[in-house]
Amino acid sequence: MTLEIISKNHDIINLENSRNIHGCFKKTFSTLSRTKVLLENALNDKKTIERISKNLYVHQNGFHKYILYTSKSRKWRIRLHIWDEMQFNNQDIHNHTFNFTSVVVQGGLKNLIFEGDLKNSSPYHLYRYNIDNETNDSQVTSLEETKGLKLKQSIDIKKGDVYYQDASIIHKIEAAEYPTATLVLQESWIRNNSTIYRNHLSNHLISERKHAPADSKIVSKNLMKIIKSLK
């Protein structure tokens, strides 16, 4: 599936050739009807559905991650994140290995931004989140140190809102309602690891990713639900 196919009959700049992919993504998908076109094209492409189904997994922060499109250079991806009430819990405070742009296509989010604070804060145990950008395998290990954090800002993000987040920002996401879905432009990796902040300590190696390949019919059904919500 190419972006030329995705953008058929719409005035969409080709991300593959764009120097400002954040601005391009924002211009393209701030209109939810264009997100609908992208999802409909994925739904109608058998090979795409099979690939999404094969690579589907449950992220440690509770959402199902659908990889819709990867650039030819593999420098960025378009992903779909879907949360439901059963799995949205125990969110980690964390930063990222990449910058990203996201649009809420269903439901809503609360983005909680944190900052370091040595005096009036709660201590969190630090973990290193390592990811292989070729295989996508990931693991979490304890750094055996703590850091004080306090809440700096709480941002409500509603359906149709587009936001950009720098990789260095420390945050966590909470769902405003269920189900919630976001379309995410993941830019190229800035580094191969990020930091997770937890209020408990574990001394052993933790495997965080739950690979959960799904039946293509289930993937198609979930995409159809989101498409219908965009009408």
- HEC assignment per residue over 23-91: HHHHHHHCCHHHHHHHHHHHHCCHHHHHHHHHHCEECCCCCEEEEEEECCCCCCEEEEEEECCCCCCCC
Q: What is the pLDDT of residue 200?
A: 75
Task: Report the CATH number that the domain containing residue 81 is assigned in CATH.
Answer: 2.60.120.10
Q: Check residue 135 and give its pLDDT.
A: 65
Task: Give the count of domains, the chain.
Answer: 1
Given a cut of 50, the residues of the chain with pLDDT beneath it are 1-13, 88, 204-205
Q: Which domain holds residue 211?
A: 3-229
139-197 tens-digit pLDDT: 888 888 899 999 999 999 999 999 999 999 999 998 899 999 999 999 988 988 999 99
C-alpha 170/C-alpha 34 separation (Å) is 30
Q: pTM for the whole thing?
A: 0.86
What's the pLDDT score for residue 71?
82
